Amino acid sequence: MSDRYAVFGNPVAHSRSPAIHAAFARETGQDIDYGRVLAPLDGFAAAVDAFRRDGGRGANVTLPFKREAWQLATACSARAASAEAVNTLRFDADGGIFGDNTDGVGLVRDIEVNLGQPLAGARVLMLGAGGAAAGVVLPLVEAGVRLLHVANRTAARAEALAARHAGAPVSGGSLAAIDGEFDLVVNATSASLGAEAPSIGRARLVPGGLCYDMMYSAEPSAFLVEAARGGARIADGIGMLVEQAAESFFLWRGVRPGTASLLAGLAQPWRGSRLGR
Ligand code: NAP
């Protein structure tokens, strides 16, 4: 029988993880079965437990359960501990549940490898201080960014996130107070879901700079349209999605799938370009 995995979320019907992991399994010759589990909002731990007892080997976790997954794990990676959120669970033979957060390494690989934008020495502005933002701070710092400024609608949340990384070049503040020159701007807010572009205050992007929206979509988000108008190179989060999945697959199977051809098939033609230039 195939080894079973699933993505847990609520809602979860939209998730592209089953198709991505099926493609990885075909490419690497791994025998896995990957499904979706719609967990009740008050029943995540019970749903995971039932899946595990039924022979499940691991899981991905999406909104709104990433923090609960971190609490459920009996051991976790440094990047999951730093994020206080888990998107990957591995059920070990001794009954342990290992938790990891692969979102950050997914973002870093997408930016550096797929988009060819170096992070070492980069000045990075990140908009948003929710779960996704928290998951990428440590990997961005480890990639050697010169500075990372986190700006959020609720400034206190950005300040608290920065304070968790004392000693690293991470600062926090409000959207209104953004100022300075950046090589990369990452939109980690959910504003794009409502077709809104969060303010970037008085931020200036260097020529050749990249604006990245973690949300992925067929058309560029309002944030990316505005960025392209200002001359920026733009990318959505489909590459982050594929790369975080590859890292989860590696954690479960010990085999790293290739991502280039899958991503080429999923990415929109405007990804990585300067619109209309
Ligand atoms: P979350 O925990 O709910 O956080 C939402 C963040 O967006 C908060 O910082 C919130 O600010 C801010 N926000 C919401 N509406 C806003 C608006 N109208 N203007 C300005 N800021 C606004 O959500 P999340 O899990 O971090 O997800 C954020 C985004 O990342 C989503 O679009 C999600 O789809 C995407 N994501 C993509 C991937 C991928 O693999 N590509 C992975 C994870 C997440 P306040 O604190 O002030 O409320």
pLDDT digits (tens, 9 = 90+) for 187-206: 999 998 888 899 888 899 99
- Strand ranges of the sheet holding 32-38, from the earlier edge strand across to the other edge: 32-38, 3-9, 56-61, 88-91, 97-100, 75-76
pTM, two decimals, is 0.96
* Shortest-distance atom of ligand 1 to CA 175: 20
**Dihedral sign (CA 116, 118, 124, 130):** positive
| Residue 215: per-residue pLDDT | 95
CA atoms within 13 Å, Cβ hemisphere of 148: 32
The total of other beta-carbon atoms located within 10 Å of residue 176's CB is 11
Residue whose Cα lies nearest atom 9 of ligand 1: it is 128
The pLDDT tens digits for 247-276 are 999 999 999 999 999 999 999 999 998 875
Per DSSP, helices labelled H in 84-190 are: 103-109, 131-142, 155-163
pLDDT confidence band for 241 (50 / 70 / 90): very high
Which residue type does 150 have? V
| C-beta separation of 72 from 97 below 8 A | yes
Q: What is the pLDDT of residue 275?
A: 75
| Average pLDDT over every residue of 30-54 | 98
pLDDT of residue 1: 84
The pair phi, psi for residue 205, each rounded to 5°, is: -100, 135
- The angle subtended at Cα 195 by Cα 156 and Cα 161, nearest 5°, is 20
Domains of the chain: 3-101 (3.40.50.10860), 104-239 (3.40.50.720)
**C-alpha distances in Å from residue 203, one per residue of 11, 55, 69, 146:** 35, 50, 35, 16
The string of DSSP letters for 36-92 reads EEE--TT-HHHHHHHHHHTTEEEEEE-TT-HHHHHHH-SEE-HHHHHHT--SEEEE-
Q: For atom 18 of ligand 1, which residue has the closest CA?
A: 191
8 A C-beta contact, residue 132 and residue 188:
yes
Structure tokens at 260: 């280039």
- Within 10 angstroms of residue 163's Cβ, the number of other Cβ atoms is 11
Residue 143 DSSP label: T
User: How confident is the model over 109-164, as pLDDT tens digits?
Assistant: 999 999 999 999 999 999 999 989 999 999 999 999 999 999 999 999 999 999 99
CA distance 61 to 261: 25
CB 90 within 8 A of CB 58: yes
Identify the helix (H) or strand (E) that includes residue 126: strand 123-127
User: pLDDT tens digits, residue range 69-122?
Assistant: 999 999 999 999 999 999 999 999 999 999 999 999 999 999 999 999 999 999
Q: Are 80 and 58 in contact (CB under 8 A)?
A: no
pLDDT band at 221 (very low <50, low <70, confident <90, very high): very high
Q: What is the mean pLDDT of residues 25-42?
A: 97
Ligand 1 residue neighbourhood (C-beta within 6 Å): 63, 103, 128-133, 152-154, 157, 188-194, 196, 198, 214-216, 237, 240-241, 244
| Pocket-testing residue among 190, 192, 193, 268, ligand 1, by greatest number of atoms within 8 A of Cβ | 190
Percent helix, strand and coil across the chain, each rounded to 5? 35, 25, 35
CA–CA separation, 70 vs 46, rounded Å?
Answer: 15
